[in-house]
């Protein structure tokens, strides 16, 4: 079909692929005929998913998304199995709810803030730069140039604009991810498209900690948490549509949060 970028036969990295949004994205890509390299630290789940799809999913070993050597090693293993990589969906991240000053007057540990930013923001940037460099290197080897050779999808959160009490570190990290979207798309123009998805409440290990009373009060339609498969459907739609670039897309059932 004209204007549709095919997933079939292409290889993608999915960070945070051992659970939640990442796992659902892996399954959606495989269903459409693509291959996936899992970047995650959950070895047991990563190996289990790869064993389920031995011909199309690779567990290269534990990958620290914020570590250059770790990411490069996993990229190399993925290339060895599947060949060139066409894109990445960066679902990997951690959450933390903690006020910056506790009731006893003690400040939040700087190390906690640094770790959230290291994984969510630095890790996302690290994977983006290394995957983009891989894609660009492959473009230079091609005799016949593609119009749309690569794709990066990052994952922010509605917390980047509507962060709640205790989410200073998380909101800062996701705000950074959202803020990279347009300049990264401009940096990589002609080689790699860049979009960011900002999910609301989803039924994931992180999202399942949300209280039902909060959902009942703030959800619009549908009046429930999002399903990881719905996130994955959107990720695949962005991959397949060449005009999706430089955009932050909310997927949240119209929820808009004041202070909870």
3-class DSSP state for residue 181?
A: helix
Tokens of 137: 């290197």
- How far the first Cα of the chain sits from its last, in Å, is 45
Tokens of 108: 């939040």
Burial 76-86 (b: 16+ CB within 10 A, else e): ebbeeebebbb
CA 201 to each of CA 17, 163, 228: distance values in angstroms, whole numbers, following the listed order = 18, 13, 10
In this structure, what DSSP letter does residue 218 have? Answer: H
160 is catalytic: no
Which residues contact residue 132 at a Cβ distance below 8 angstroms, ignoring those fewer than 6 apart?
Answer: 150, 152, 188, 191, 192
Phi, psi torsion values for 160, nearest 5 degrees: -70, -20
Do residues 42 and 176 lie in contact, with contact meaning Cβ atoms separated by under 8 Å?
no
Catalytic-role residue among 125, 170, 202, 231:
170
Active site residues: 170
């Amino acid at each position: 079909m004209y204007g549709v970028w095919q997933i079939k036969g292409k290889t993608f990295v999915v960070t945070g692929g051992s659970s939640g949004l990442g796992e659902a994205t892996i399954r959606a890509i495989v269903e459409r005929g693509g291959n996936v390299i899992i970047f995650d630290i959950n070895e047991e789940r990563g190996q289990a998913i790869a064993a389920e799809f031995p011909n199309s999913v690779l567990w290269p070993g534990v990958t620290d998304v914020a570590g250059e050597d770790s990411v490069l090693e996993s990229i190399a293993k993925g290339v060895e199995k599947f060949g060139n990589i066409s894109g990445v969906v960066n679902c990997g991240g951690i959450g933390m709810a903690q006020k910056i000053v506790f009731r006893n007057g003690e400040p939040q540990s700087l190390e906690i803030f640094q770790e959230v930013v290291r994984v969510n923001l630095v890790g996302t940037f690290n994977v983006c730069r290394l995957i983009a460099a891989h894609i660009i290197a492959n473009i230079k080897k091609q005799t016949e140039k593609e119009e749309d050779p690569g794709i990066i999808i990052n994952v922010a959160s509605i917390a980047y604009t509507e962060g709640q009490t205790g989410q200073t570190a998380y909101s800062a990290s996701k705000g950074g991810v959202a803020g990279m979207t347009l300049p990264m798309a401009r940096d990589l123009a002609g080689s790699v498209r860049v979009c960011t998805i900002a999910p609301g409440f989803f039924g994931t290990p992180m999202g399942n900690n949300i209280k039902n009373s909060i959902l009942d009060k703030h959800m619009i339609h549908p009046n429930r948490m999002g399903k990881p498969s719905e996130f994955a459907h959107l990720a695949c739609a962005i991959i397949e549509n060449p005009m999706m670039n430089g955009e932050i897309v909310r997927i949240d059932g119209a929820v808009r949060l004041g202070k909870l």
